[in-house]
């Protein structure tokens, strides 16, 4: 009987010790998340709409969790004040022109408060200071815009499908051009005629150059072109000489 009682006491003691250990660990984890064991400083900001932000939500700066939301109060019908607790070690990076915005931890994650980086030469934010804020974009507004974009894409796709059906059916200028072989042959003949005309024009120009009456004109034109080229070559040679003289 005494042995059974002792075993019961031992089990009870182990159960109580385990419960206390779990309680202490839980307090430590919660305290660490809420920055209860780290020195902190306070900042405040105001929003028109906090978009689901809650007390205890994480605060991020440069992508790192640096604090938590301490309190959220409705000041009036158009202003909501958000109090922040931020690690003291981060205060040297928070400038008074930093802005607070509301984002998500992921695509469908919890809402978080994001502090943007300030100017390099701006003074540091003091304890209890108020920083500017940027209103969040509501998920419903994003979904509405995406729906409008999807509807426009559907309309464009439908119109393109109608155009392609008409083209494949030989309707319209482009459809007739693609489907009607006679038009394609006429275009080919036109291209051949243009090539022949171009060749005939070249022959006429060559014949004109050999003509006694026009030969002088073409000779003068060739001499003028050669004179211009020679002058350019002389100028370039003179420039090279000047550069060589400067180098020496």
pLDDT at residue 82, as a whole number: 94
SS3 49: coil
What is the reported pLDDT for 31? 54
Q: Would the pTM of this model clear 0.75, i.e. be above it? A: no
Which pLDDT belongs to residue 71? 92
| pLDDT per residue as tens, the chain (248 positions) | 556 666 666 666 677 777 777 766 766 565 555 555 568 889 999 999 888 888 989 999 988 899 999 999 999 988 999 999 999 988 889 998 999 998 887 666 788 999 999 888 889 988 888 999 888 766 666 677 778 888 788 888 887 877 777 667 666 666 666 666 666 676 777 777 777 666 656 655 655 555 545 455 556 666 777 777 777 777 777 777 766 666 65
Domain boundary assignment for the chain: 1-33, 38-136, 180-210
Strands, E assignment, the chain: 40-47, 58-61, 64-76, 79-87, 99-104, 111-115, 129-130, 132-134
pLDDT for residue 69? 92
Angle between helices 181-210 and 212-247 (to 10 degrees): 90
What pLDDT, on a 0 to 100 scale, did the predictor assign at position 218? 56
Residue 69 CA to residue 37 CA, distance in Å, equals 16
Q: Can you tell me the distance from the alpha carbon of 79 to that of 71, in angstroms, rounded to the nearest whole number?
A: 14
């Amino acid at each position: 009987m005494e042995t059974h009682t002792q075993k019961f006491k031992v089990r009870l003691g182990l159960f109580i010790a385990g419960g206390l250990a779990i309680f202490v660990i839980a307090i430590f984890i919660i305290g660490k998340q809420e920055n209860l064991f780290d020195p902190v400083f306070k900042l405040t900001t105001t929003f028109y709409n906090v978009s689901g932000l809650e007390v205890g939500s994480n605060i991020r700066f440069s992508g790192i969790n640096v604090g938590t939301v301490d309190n959220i109060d409705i000041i009036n019908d158009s202003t909501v004040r958000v109090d922040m607790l931020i690690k003291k070690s981060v205060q040297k990076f928070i400038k008074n022109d930093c802005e607070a915005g509301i984002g998500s931890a992921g695509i469908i994650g919890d809402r978080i408060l994001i502090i943007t980086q300030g100017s390099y030469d701006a003074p540091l934010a003091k304890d209890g200071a108020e920083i500017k804020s940027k209103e969040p974009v509501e998920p419903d507004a994003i979904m509405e815009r995406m729906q409008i974009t999807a509807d426009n894409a559907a309309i464009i796709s439908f119109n393109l499908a109608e155009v392609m059906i008409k083209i494949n059916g030989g309707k319209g200028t482009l459809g007739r051009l693609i489907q009607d072989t006679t038009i394609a042959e006429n275009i080919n003949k036109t291209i051949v005629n243009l090539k022949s005309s171009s060749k005939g024009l070249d022959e006429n120009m060559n014949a004109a150059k050999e003509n006694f009456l026009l030969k002088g004109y073409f000779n003068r034109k060739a001499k003028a072109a050669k004179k211009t080229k020679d002058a350019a070559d002389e100028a370039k040679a003179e420039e090279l000489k000047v550069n060589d003289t400067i180098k020496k």
